[in-house]
Amino acid sequence: MEKETCTSEKLVKFLEEIKNRYDTGGIWISEKMGRRWSFYCGIRPILLFPPVSFSLDERFALFCEKPENLKKDIEKIKPKLKELLYEN
């Protein structure tokens, strides 16, 4: 089976809600493939700030450009992101 990017509209919509609520700039999920991170889904970087990552599990991480507002609520958001990631 070939690896492909996410097609979950619910997940992308949730990331858009996070971006708007927390003013994160670009926000996306990447999948770890060996020693590299591969873009999985989300809103690609739009600023020149280096992204900050929040590990979701051993396979996925959430990246965002402006994490200041998101940091306080990230633990509340992680379960919903994981649920949407593994939803079939």
Q: What is the mean pLDDT of residues 38-44?
A: 90
CA separation for the pair 88, 85 (Å, rounded): 8
Taking only the tens place, the pLDDT of each residue in 42-57 is 988 888 878 999 999 9
Q: Is residue 47 within 8 Å of residue 25, measured between CB atoms?
A: yes
Q: Is residue 2 within 8 Å of residue 22, measured between CB atoms?
A: no
Decide if pLDDT at 24 tops 50: yes
Q: What is the pTM of this model?
A: 0.87
